[in-house]
A and B are shown apart, each in its own frame.
Chain A
């Protein structure tokens, strides 16, 4: 650690005003504050300073996302080998070659997406920081890994790059950078992709990698192959009774969906992996348990109401509520997107309403609009707009309550 500090101090003059590399000043500053907590203190006014600055907070979210990322990689490979009928019984055993084939296939497809997202996003952040002569905002650390996790595996890299650039510029930088954005940056990227390139973001063709990648995988697809996600299948089904199939045509159980061995966006499938991340976020108090819990409550209650009163012909309405909660991006959105401290409600009571409406709205969109079998993205973006309004009412209510109390005590 000391050696690193010495190295940083040694190269520091190069990056300061007038130094040889002063054009990379903001880049250096970004890395220095990433490695060491800055020693700067405020010189005016009264400040409460927390030991955990936003860089440390962001790193925590990134660590929380690692289980979902690793499982996502494994699942990408798993779906591929299942679709080509090459899966052997011991695929889950890390001692076997099959396990590593599966995992490496996923790595080969997912890692480029992560790299593209970071290079494009951080490139824009660094440029803007240098241009405005500011420090680099750390916000993209999280967005950069969220974006690849919420897209289908078949998405071309250039589309990912375009969407990342769009959302960093128009959802974040034009509003003033990290902490000033109205909408969740990663979800704006996804919404952009969803509306700009619908053929690559929805349907039956994009959720499973079917081609050979760097000599990994490949092979003939089984005859019964269908790449539709469970939610996609439910959206097009009719009638009350309905069985969900996996990519090879066999029945999918609730347990499969819970574990996450189903087609879907890369990081969203496994409830277990997301739960591991959620525990870390809750223990470190980075995310609010109120928001998280209320999203699940809202979703469960709304889905339960549809189960009880929904129209006979609407299969999605009769998908049991405990299926709704584990399918699609519901868990991922609830844990990593709804709890985004920048775009969610900040008042403690407001968090309950904010979260509850996200859950409720996601299920309403799923059930009532067959065009959008996944409602989580639109629900969170919609509630992002309402978050300031919710906060406003709670703050105003508190002000008027206190005002009443004071006037009462004066009168008495």
Chain B
């Protein structure tokens, strides 16, 4: 049991949260981060979906890694990911229909999410299943974390609500406050993401360029 959570494995799961974050450091998966973060709820669901898919596909590819011929490995990876994405998409349609409508094509587009192919190629193809599982979880959480932060500010400032509940009191609106319409549009997601990257790099010295 001890080796399951060794220092190296801990690093595998904690690294993607900050130092090796898939969005803010590797700058992968930006498109979906911009598209689904207008509200908090779809962002959380999207983050969970990606986490589950990365973790499971990482395990499957890692189990198959010694039998996959190198020349067709991308096709094999795609088949695995596509299967999982379809399962998750159908699951959402069955049990969380409203959210799946909000997410529209972006659940299906997880298959083209660079984080997935990146993790499968860079990690699962050369590591054992348990490490691959942790790596998938870590990267999924890192992705979800940024999505939730962006969505928090966009929903709060753009719609005055969080998870659909109005949090800005009516008295504030009566005194002249107006929701910021730009926050609901994709450009503002890009700018908030930029602010997060800015703050992140200011805080973490290792990430700064010389």
Contact = CB atoms under 8 A, between A and B. Distances in A.
B181 A198 contact: yes
B181 A195 contact: yes
Indicate the size class of the contact surface on chain A: 10 to 19
A159 B178 CA distance: 9
Contacts of B181: 195-198
Nearest to A196: B182
- Counting chain A CB atoms within 10 Å of each CB, which of B176, B181, B182 scores highest? B182
Interface in B170-203: 176, 178, 180-183, 185, 191
B182 A192 contact: yes
A158 interface: yes
A156 interface: yes
A200 interface: yes
B195 to A, nearest CB: 9
Contacts of B176: 156, 158
Nearest to A159: B178
B183 A196 contact: yes
A262 B176 CA distance: 27
Indicate the size class of the contact surface on chain B: under 10
A11 to B, nearest CB: 35
A406 interface: no
- Counting chain B CB atoms within 10 Å of each CB, which of A158, A195, A196, A199 scores highest? A196
- Counting chain A CB atoms within 10 Å of each CB, which of B178, B183, B191 scores highest? B178
Interface in A67-84: none
B191 A170 contact: yes
A195 B178 contact: no
A199 B178 contact: yes
A195 B181 CA distance: 6
Interface string B158-178: 000000000000000000101
Query: SS class of chain A's interface: helix, strand, loop or mixed?
Result: helix
Contacts of B182: 192, 195-196
Contacts of A197: 178, 180-181
B198 to A, nearest CB: 8
Interface in A186-209: 192, 195-200
A192 B180 CA distance: 10
A152 to B, nearest CB: 14
Contacts of A159: 178
Contacts of A199: 178
Nearest to A201: B181
Nearest to A195: B182
A273 to B, nearest CB: 31
Contacts of B185: 195
A288 B201 CA distance: 41
Contacts of B180: 162, 196-197
Interface string A125-163: 000000000000000000000000000000010110010
A198 B185 CA distance: 13
A24 B148 CA distance: 40
Contacts of B178: 156, 159, 197, 199-200
Contacts of A196: 180-183
Interface in A151-180: 156, 158-159, 162, 170
A294 B176 CA distance: 42
A198 B178 CA distance: 10
A110 B180 CA distance: 23
Contacts of A162: 180
A126 B180 CA distance: 27
B122 to A, nearest CB: 31
A362 B178 CA distance: 29
Contacts of B183: 196
20 contacts: A156-B176, A156-B178, A158-B176, A159-B178, A162-B180, A170-B191, A192-B182, A195-B181, A195-B182, A195-B185, A196-B180, A196-B181, A196-B182, A196-B183, A197-B178, A197-B180, A197-B181, A198-B181, A199-B178, A200-B178
Interface of A: 156, 158-159, 162, 170, 192, 195-200
Given A198-B181, A199-B178, A200-B178, 12 more contacts: A156-B176, A156-B178, A158-B176, A162-B180, A192-B182, A195-B181, A195-B182, A195-B185, A196-B180, A196-B181, A196-B183, A197-B178
